[in-house]
Amino acid sequence: MITPHMSQDLVYYLAFLAGQLLFVLKRSASAIRSKLNPIATRRAFFVANWDLLLIRCALEAPIFYVYRHYDVNSVLSLFTTWQVPFHIPQSAMTAFLFGYLADSLLDWFGASAKAPEWLKETIPGIQVFAQHTVGQGTDATGAPVTIEKTVTVTGPSVEVKP
């Protein structure tokens, strides 16, 4: 039996997922516009990174759980005595914003110089690309020539400084 709370959880999680997707679309737009990146379409970006994107969604799911089931002041009380003087409402829009924020913070923290190396290896970056192209042509004598080229970008296109 599906309770009203469970149906609200589903709606809010879909909004949270849409926020994550918006951040991924922003990243894919940056990737396809980069001159250093061999990926030319958003579809190629998703095909190349689908597994990393799913891992990131799984790492961010606890953020949604905490948002949906605990008050902000309850979470803050674990770390400090300071309390937020306002209430963050639970709505689809707030869940959407938390989804975008969660993915952007995970991306920022994964590229941060302050993040420990073991955590950087655990949090997959979504700017790891490889593209293999094959070209056909002829050389100066008219003999057929096959040219294979593989381009791999293994990190952010900009250096993150501490």
Per residue in 4-57, pLDDT (tens digit) is 888 988 999 999 999 999 999 998 888 888 877 777 888 988 888 888 888 888
Q: Is residue 76 part of a domain?
A: yes
pLDDT in tens, 42-68: 898 888 888 888 888 888 899 889 888
Structural domain count of the chain: 1
Q: Is residue 149 part of a domain?
A: no
Q: Is residue 85 part of a domain?
A: yes
Q: Is residue 155 part of a domain?
A: no
Q: Is residue 95 part of a domain?
A: yes
Tokens found for residue 44 = 């190629």
Residue-level pLDDT at 133: 61
Residue-level pLDDT at 116: 75
pLDDT of 158 above 60: no
Q: Of 131 and 136, which is predicted with more confidence?
A: 136
Residue-level pLDDT at 159: 47
pLDDT of 71 above 80: yes
User: Which residues span the domain enclosing 11?
Assistant: 4-126
Q: Is residue 150 part of a domain?
A: no
Answering whether pTM is above 0.85, one says: no
Q: Is residue 147 part of a domain?
A: no
